[in-house]
Amino acid sequence: MTDMIHITCPACQAKNRIPAAKLGAKPSCGACKAALFPDAPFELDEAGLNRHLKTDELPLLVDFWAPWCGPCRAMAPMFAQASREMAPAVRFAKLDTEQHQAVGSRFQIRGIPLIILFDHGREVARQAGAMNAGQITGWVRQHLKA
């Protein structure tokens, strides 16, 4: 029997079941046909984050940032590069803490940029401060092994 993985579509939030063996084949959403693993980190709002944490069976790395934050803007291309290197094993998303302040409070965010790694809906690790792509991928691999 083929292992099925549940993944939430970053575009329409529909729940998808994908055979684990086909994750690397650039699967698309059954509802809206959008890529389930886009070429860049996808934007989340609070409802989207809740949905991904509730249903996704793959690790999710979220960059909590704000448009006025210089280090956040500087880290954005590095985060995107790390996303391309780690897909489809890890999904990468961004959440604007300026627009979604309740999320910042809920996760007790004291400084940005802040990345939080979630696995099966629970927080695994967090790291504040800008990092380059190699540091991001190394940090994720280190915490997923634990």
- What is the tens place of the pLDDT at every residue in 112-143? 999 999 999 999 999 999 999 999 999 999 99
Asked if 28 and 34 touch (Cβ cutoff 8 Å), the reply is yes
Band (145; pLDDT cuts 50, 70, 90): confident
Whether this prediction's pTM lies above 0.85 is answered by: yes
Count Cβ atoms below 10 Å from residue 117 Cβ, excluding itself: 20
- The catalytic position among 9, 29, 32, 69 is 69
Per the annotation, the verdict on 69 as an active-site residue is yes
Per the annotation, the verdict on 32 as an active-site residue is no
pLDDT digits (tens, 9 = 90+) for 84-93: 999 999 999 9
39-145 in CATH: which number? 3.40.30.10
Cα separation of 33 and 2, whole Å? Answer: 22
